[in-house]
Each structure stands twice: as C-alpha cells, then as structure tokens.
Amino acid sequence: MFVPEKTDVQLSAEFENILQWAADNLMTVNINKTNEIVFHRPARHYLPIPLIGIEQVLLAKLLGVTFCSNLKFDDHVKNVLTTCSQRCYLLRCLKGQGLPAKELNIVFCAIGMSKILYALPAWGGFFTYELTAKIDSFLRKAVRWGFSSHYKCLTDLLREADLHLFRKMTSNSGHCIHQLLPPTKVLPMKLRDSHCVFALPQCHYNLYKHSFVLRNLFVSAY
C-alpha cells in the first residue's frame, strides 16, 4: 500500500480497506509481518504517527529489494554482494572438481549475475560512485577467478536492462507499468525530429529525475 504525503485519504482508512478486502476474499493479513516505512528527505525530522499495531521501520524488503527511508540503496547492495560472495564458495568447489569454464560461467550467471541484475532498473538509477565501484570490483574478481567469461561494468548492465524494459513498456499499452508514462507531446508547429514522443515533465529534484521512467525519457530525448 502506497499513500502520498498530501492526500485526502487517511492512512488508517486505507489500511482498513485492505483488511476488509482480505476478509472478503477469505484471506488474513499477518500483522506481525506488516511494516510501515516513510520515505522522506534527510532534513525532515517529523514522521507521521505509525498505524496502531504496525511497526514503523527504516528498512523494508519488498520483492527482494531492500528499500531505505531516504531512498539510498547501500543496504541492498551490501545484501546482494554478501549473497554473491557466499555463492562464490560453491563456484570455487565446482571449479576445484573440474567443472569446465563454459559451464562454470553458466552457473555464475544463474546464481551470481542474476542476483545483481534482479530488478536493476528499479534501483540502479540511485547508485553512488562508491556503490558502483563495489559491484564493479566484484564483477572483475569473478572474471579473474574464472567464474565469468568476460567483464561488463555495472553502468553497461544498467543501460541494457533499462533499454530492454523501456522498450517493452512503451511499445505495449497493456504493459503493467505503461500507465507511468507521461502523455504524448503535442507541438503547435513541426520542429526537428526527436526520439522521444512523450512530454517531458519538470524535475525539481535530482532524485526524481533518477527514477526509471524519467531517466529513460530524458535519455531518449537527447
């Protein structure tokens, strides 16, 4: 459930609607596994009163991605690299047992690279230089250890993942995130051709511009 800061809908009322919907569909919401996270700017000190019986947290894991209240992904990258490092032990064992390089690369892509690529367009735009350097360092080590057949930096991986998803959402009106696109721009006169057919929104915050849809819109416009 997502509720914006400025809305005429009360958070408690919206949560009651979810509980009622679950009851109507013979489902039960596990309150003990339900958390509330408030996304806010670092300078903000006031936080809304949490829902009764619901813990308000600073970190929340949603579909395998760890979100922080300040929309930084240091904890998510730490979790990803920790898992990848643990799985490298299995790869070393397989290599020691004589698994050929080609098959070793297949296993690495399945249990290592897939972890890095998972939901990359959702969180890749919020990388800092330090986080990018940490993941690139791991990818270089994977090549040096013989787990990966070639090195590709995180920036290139993100560009490919962005392009693949952005093409799917723009070409298919039935795509689940197609509605996030802005309306098609209408010009009073014919200007030079542009690759972007959508009206570019105004971005007052850099964080907003780094989100998946916005950063791809601006890339396609220039």
- Concatenated DSSP letters of 174-197: TSTTGGGSPPBP--SS--S--S--
* 28 and 79 share one domain: no
Q: Which long-range contacts (CB under 8 A, 24 or more apart) does 211-214 make?
A: 211/125, 212/121, 212/122, 212/125, 212/162, 212/165, 212/166, 213/177, 213/180, 213/181
* 18 and 52 share one domain: yes
Each residue's pLDDT, cut to its tens digit, for the chain (222 residues) gives 777 777 787 888 888 888 899 999 999 888 888 888 888 777 666 677 777 888 888 888 888 899 888 888 999 999 999 999 999 999 999 999 999 999 999 999 999 999 999 999 988 888 888 999 999 999 999 999 999 988 999 999 999 998 999 888 888 888 888 888 777 766 565 555 556 667 677 766 777 777 888 888 777 655
* 149 and 124 share one domain: yes
* 97 and 28 share one domain: no
Domain contains 187: no
Rg (CA), the chain: 22
Q: Going by C-beta distance under 8 Å and a sequence separation of 6 or more, which residues neighbour residue 46?
A: none
Domain contains 206: no
* 51 and 83 share one domain: no
Give the structural domain span for 15: 11-57
The two beta strands, 65-68 and 59-62, are antiparallel
Domain contains 97: yes
Domain contains 44: yes
* 78 and 134 share one domain: yes
